[in-house]
Structure 1
Amino acid sequence: MKKYLLTIVLLMCITIACKEEKNETAAAQKELTLLEKIAFANGYENWKNVSELKFTFNVDRDTSHFERSWSWKPKSNDVIMVSATDTVSYNRKQMDSIAENANSSFINDKYWLLAPINILWDENNITQEHLSGAEAPISKKPLQKLTVVYGNEGGYTPGDAYDFYFGNDYIVQEWVFRRANQAEPSMVTSWEDYVEKGGLKIAQMHKMPEANFKLYFTNIEVVTD
């Protein structure tokens, strides 16, 4: 009898183990969406560990230079902006008119820094179209193209469109910004000089073809738990 009961217990354990292994395998084989593939290629799986993100947003145009620095604690939504003329501290859950003005700049600068992840955060407010083969606007290389169009309601730039160009590694190499989803590009820049910080993959440099213009990031710091 004891031997019979032991056999039953062993069979039950084997059955449970097989079911767990099957469930784990199914989860591992779950196909990621395109937005997820792009976000994960840029370290999205590590975002949960980020307690603070610091960076300086820079723009050089001809002989002029502009910069502003940010400290963002995403878990509490505390933000500090430091520019040549102002220092503004605010919480994104409780904003007055001064904070609203600073936050519009924060949204812009953060988007340039984290767009491959940001589009996943914004997936409920966008439409998307994917082409497996398209000519990149700067390099003229054959790349994949994802067009993202934001909804007309809410946000700081409703209705705007972005064309992301990337290879089979899902790392963005170039993009096009089209204001209000117009056909002609409003801005075309490269995505280059990638660096890894705190598990996030970030393009530090964006250059515009045939123009004395570059948008870039310095003092990038990712603090993790």
Structure 2
Amino acid sequence: MKNLIILSFLIILVTSCKNENSTKTSSSASSENASIAEEIAKANGLENFKEMKEVDFTFNVRVQDTIRSQRSWQWNPQTNEIRLTENDISQTYTRDGDLSEDEKKIDQKFINDTYWLLFPYQLVWSNAEISEEKNATTPISGKQMDKLTVAYTDEGGYTPGDSYDIYYNDDLMLQEWVYKAADGNREMATTWEDYQDFNGVKIAKSHKSADGNFELFFSDVSLQ
């Protein structure tokens, strides 16, 4: 039963996409929370990311000892040209706002995977309501950290109405988060760990469940 629950969360997480325009540079955060959202994004290297011309990474999902999903991406943020390689098949498209049905299927995966890769930037890129709570208890470690709730509207995007609770330390690095589905019946907490600096862009390469049976991790990461 535990394996079935983990697998069901895996399906939710892999298909969970919030906003079709992940690289928008606008935010609907209230004025009192906009500044901390911007501070977190900048602390994670947003200004350096703006200079990147190629982002390469492989998105991996492990359940217990089995790799359940693996996708490799090559992305030019300047032109929004994207290449996906999955199951030895490569597909290329451009995120120009006019996508075919086949391109939308790829784009849904791209949005999901880049949300995990660069979520701190979504605090200023995407259209979300942001609220703040000081000294909240984290769901996995039980530590006291500041918390932002990032809630998406029930209109637009691939899965409208979803939200995240993110927990961050004094260095403004995310440490844990909780994904909450719009229907209110599904949620999952994972860590943010194994941070690495890629030319000034800070990325958490590993996200694990409390019991360690689920891990979403990045390999072959390169930003230039």
TM bin (shorter chain): 0.7 to 0.9
- Residue 60 in structure 1 maps to residue 62 in structure 2: yes
C-alpha distance in structure 1 between counterparts of 2:42 and 2:186, whole Å: 27
Give aligned pairs, total: 190
Decide whether aligned partners of structure 1 residues 140 and 192 sit closer, same or farther in structure 2, where only a CA change above 3 A counts.
Answer: same
C-alpha distance in structure 2 between counterparts of 1:166 and 1:185, whole Å: 22
C-alpha distance in structure 1 between counterparts of 2:88 and 2:180, whole Å: 30
- Residue 70 in structure 1 maps to residue 67 in structure 2: no
Q: Secondary structure at the match of 1:72?
A: strand
> Which residue, 181, 200, 210 being the options, matches 1:179?
181
C-alpha distance in structure 1 between counterparts of 2:170 and 2:212, whole Å: 29
> Which residue, 117, 127, 130 being the options, matches 2:129?
127
> Which residue, 47, 50, 60 being the options, matches 2:49?
47
What is aligned with 2:17?
Answer: none
> Which residue, 84, 98, 108 being the options, matches 2:112?
108
> Which residue, 80, 99, 104 being the options, matches 2:103?
99
- Residue 158 in structure 1 maps to residue 160 in structure 2: yes
In terms of mean alpha carbon deviation, does 57-66 or 104-113 score higher? Answer: 57-66
Which amino acid is 1:148 matched to? V
Gaps in structure 1 of 5+ consecutive residues: 1-30
For residues 103-143 of structure 1, the C-alpha deviation after alignment (integer angstroms, 9 at most, x for no partner) is 00000000000001122101xx2111101110000010000
Quote the offset at 1:162 in angstroms: 0.2
CA-based RMSD of the aligned residues comes to 1.6
C-alpha distance in structure 1 between counterparts of 2:34 and 2:83, whole Å: 34
**Which one has the largest radius of gyration?**
1
Question: What TM-score, normalized to structure 2?
Answer: 0.81
C-alpha distance in structure 1 between counterparts of 2:137 and 2:34, whole Å: 25
Quote the offset at 1:222 in angstroms: 0.3
Higher relative contact order (CA 8 A, sep 6+): 2
Relative to its length, the structure with more helix (as a share) is 1
For residues 46-99 of structure 1, the C-alpha deviation after alignment (integer angstroms, 9 at most, x for no partner) is 122111100000011123212100011011110000001531100011421111
What is aligned with 2:87?
Answer: 84
C-alpha distance in structure 1 between counterparts of 2:186 and 2:41, whole Å: 24
TM superposition outliers: structure 1 runs of 4+ over 6 Å:
none
On the 8 A contact 1:149/1:181 being kept in 2, the answer is no
Quote the offset at 1:212 in angstroms: 1.1
Which amino acid is 1:120 matched to? V
Question: What TM-score, normalized to structure 1?
Answer: 0.81
C-alpha distance in structure 2 between counterparts of 1:210 and 1:48, whole Å: 36
C-alpha distance in structure 2 between counterparts of 1:181 and 1:111, whole Å: 20
Q: Secondary structure at the match of 1:34?
A: helix
C-alpha distance in structure 2 between counterparts of 1:62 and 1:172, whole Å: 24
Determine what percentage of the aligned residue pairs are the same residue: 41
On the 8 A contact 2:196/2:203 being kept in 1, the answer is yes
Which amino acid is 2:45 matched to? G
